[in-house]
């Protein structure tokens, strides 16, 4: 089965307060984006990768990311759009017609695992979409506009959504086409599939699978790597 991974790395990373986009910041010995791409490069289940990058960064990514680190599965590098949804849509337009499954993943989630890729693709044998979700630990309140509690939500029915999100190729393409036709913008890819009335299988995510968005996230990411190295006996 042909599987395409769309790695979305077109954000500007303004919350990181750095001169360069967060996906290109170094996490120990190599950029965050490189660490993310390495997982998909090494996965025997992923056929090819489409990388979506910011305007003006095409040549940089070809030379400093793909060529420098020897990535072979990245078949296309394209410029993203104004919002994440626009960027994913540009990636979907480049997906080969023979592709059967599409994995969409944030370029700044470098702790995605081979298990997550395998598990999500395995669910496509029965379902048309799957996402990773973390259980909510804290009590969640719905708050009014003037900052009063409106209600307490049922924690067991809530979850924090992560990527990768994995879909039947035809379904995700149709979901995006409908969203843009309706001028609808969602907060994640699965939300667009929900609008088609499709069922989405929920898988248990990982607390290590963080999205590096702020300087604090970068500190946490460094701690995770140090912990992994310590377990391996590397100093």
Contacts 24+ apart (CB under 8 A), 81-86: 81/10, 83/185, 84/8, 84/10, 84/11, 85/176, 85/179, 85/185, 85/186, 85/192
* Domain regions of the chain by residue span: 3-132+160-231
pTM of the prediction?
A: 0.95
> What local confidence, expressed as pLDDT, does residue 145 receive?
96
> What local confidence, expressed as pLDDT, does residue 228 receive?
86
> What local confidence, expressed as pLDDT, does residue 233 receive?
67
Give the pLDDT band (50/70/90) at residue 232: confident
> What local confidence, expressed as pLDDT, does residue 17 receive?
56
CB 153 within 8 A of CB 198: no
Average pLDDT over all residues of the chain? 95
- The CATH code that applies to domain 3-132+160-231 is 3.90.550.10
How many other β-carbons are positioned within 10 Å of the β-carbon of residue 184?
12
Phi, psi of 201 (to 5 degrees): -75, 130
Calculate mean pLDDT across residues 200-225.
Answer: 96
> What local confidence, expressed as pLDDT, does residue 20 receive?
81
Q: Which helix (H) or strand (E) covers residue 59, if one does?
A: helix 58-60
pLDDT in tens, 11-34: 876 656 567 889 999 999 999 999
């Amino acid at each position: 089965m042909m599987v395409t991974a769309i790695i979305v790395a077109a954000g500007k990373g303004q919350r990181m307060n750095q001169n360069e986009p967060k996906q290109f910041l170094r996490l120990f010995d190599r950029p965050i984006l490189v660490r993310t791409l390495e997982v998909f490069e090494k996965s025997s289940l992923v056929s090819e990768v489409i990388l979506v990058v910011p305007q003006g960064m095409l040549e940089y990514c070809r030379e400093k990311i793909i060529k420098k680190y020897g990535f072979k599965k990245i078949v296309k590098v394209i410029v993203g759009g104004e919002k994440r949804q626009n960027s994913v849509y540009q990636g979907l337009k480049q997906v080969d017609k023979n592709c059967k499954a599409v994995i969409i993943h944030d370029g700044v989630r470098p702790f995605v695992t081979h298990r997550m890729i395998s598990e999500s693709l395995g669910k496509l044998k029965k379902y048309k979409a799957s996402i990773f979700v973390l259980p909510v630990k804290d009590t969640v309140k719905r708050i009014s506009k003037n900052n009063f509690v409106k209600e307490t939500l049922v924690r067991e029915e809530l979850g924090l959504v992560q990527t990768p999100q994995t879909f039947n190729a035809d379904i995700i393409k149709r979901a995006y086409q409908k969203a843009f036709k309706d001028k609808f913008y969602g907060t994640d890819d699965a939300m667009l599939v929900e609008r088609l009335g499709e069922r989405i299988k929920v898988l248990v995510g990982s607390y290590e699978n963080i999205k590096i968005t702020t300087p604090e996230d970068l500190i946490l990411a460094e701690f995770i790597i140090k912990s992994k190295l310590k377990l391996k006996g590397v100093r």
